[in-house]
Amino acid sequence: MRVAGWVAAVFFIASLLGCKVTGITLSERQVQQANENARRKGVEDLVNFSVMNFSATDFADASFDVVWGCESICYAEDKEQFIKEAFRLLRPGGRLVVADGLVTDFENNENPDIRQWLDGWQVNYLESPERFQSFMLQAGFGNINFRNISRETAHSSRRLYRIYYLASLYLLWKKVNFSKPVTAIQKKNIKACKYQFKGMQKGLWQYGLITGTKLR
């Protein structure tokens, strides 16, 4: 069974550090698959998975030492609400770590290239580094640090760009062979691979790593 990227990351952290890790998702099926994989890998004593909204969890206050989000916080309906929830969940001295796409200017969310990308992947908008850090500061985080790591992740953006062309050829083949047509959502998802690359090339967005500490 193929392991989803976020599940594999949970296993990696638990195995590398020997710490307990909780993964949350809105998909019941993903939770079931993740638990099955945990049993197969023998890490069920270190990891657990729950169906939960990361902006409104059922966890008690000060439940975690680290809240970590990788390429998922962009899907939050309200990114500021996620930050407030992360602050609530962390113990004093705990850290928030987020790795995700961020627009270089918040107004870039209305740029046609960015909209084609975000709409294709069903993301409502991206935060800018300045806004994200200001929300963290207002929530009570300190030692806030932002790093633009686009150079380290550009190869992934370029790979997705190539996938766009391969997938487009596949769609053409299906059309010629009168196969079952793809849905409009699938077409937009494929086109998004092209526009995320164009957006990065134009400097409209960047891949960022943001960290902060709960001081109180």
Q: What is the pLDDT of residues 188-213, one digit of tens each?
A: 999 999 999 999 999 999 999 999 99
How many Å apart are CA 93 and CA 66, to the nearest integer? 9
pLDDT score at 145? 98
Domains of the chain (ranges; CATH) run 5-104+124-150+204-214 (3.40.50.150)
The series of mean pLDDT values per 10 residues for the chain, 216 residues long, is 67 89 92 90 90 96 96 96 98 97 98 98 97 98 98 96 90 74 86 97 98 94
pLDDT score at 128? 98
End-to-end CA distance of the chain: 43
How many Å apart are CA 64 and CA 146, to the nearest integer? 22
pLDDT score at 179? 73
The sign of the dihedral angle between the CA atoms of 109, 112, 113, 118 is positive
Element of type H or E holding 94: strand 90-103
Residue 161 contacts by C-beta under 8 Å, 6 or more apart in sequence?
A: 193, 194, 196, 197
State if pTM tops 0.75. yes
